[in-house]
């Protein structure tokens, strides 16, 4: 209907440096939903990778305690 499979799931990927992970993903041609990290649940900074690039919805996460603004 919308070009997506009926079942799409979320994969949670914890990273040490979310800014670097976003930059690396974009440099590799991966489409990001979030160009900059945002506040998420559980005291995490998060950014989503577009499902068209990954085949499913991926969430990159870094604990706010280790995040450097």
* Per-residue confidence (pLDDT) for residue 55, from 0 to 100: 83
Answer yes or no: is pLDDT of 41 > 80. Answer: yes
Q: CA quadruple 25, 26, 28, 32: dihedral positive or negative? A: positive
d(CA 63, CA 27): 23
Answer yes or no: is pLDDT of 7 > 60. Answer: no
**When comparing pLDDT for 9 and 46, which is higher?**
46
Answer yes or no: is pLDDT of 10 > 80. Answer: no
Residues in contact with 46: Cβ distance below 8 Å, sequence separation at least 6, in sequence order = 18, 34, 37, 38, 39, 40, 59, 60, 61, 62
* Per-residue confidence (pLDDT) for residue 20, from 0 to 100: 97
Answer yes or no: is pLDDT of 2 > 70. Answer: no
**Residue matched to tokens 């499902």:** 51
Averaged confidence pLDDT in the chain:
89
Residue 53 is encoded by which pair of tokens?
Answer: 């690039």
């Amino acid at each position: 209907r919308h070009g997506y499979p009926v079942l799409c799931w979320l994969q949670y990927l914890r990273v040490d440096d979310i800014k670097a992970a976003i930059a690396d993903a974009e440099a590799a041609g991966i489409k990001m939903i979030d160009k900059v990290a945002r506040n998420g649940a559980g005291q995490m900074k998060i950014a989503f990778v577009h499902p068209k690039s990954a085949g499913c919805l991926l969430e990159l996460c870094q604990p706010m305690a280790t995040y450097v603004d």
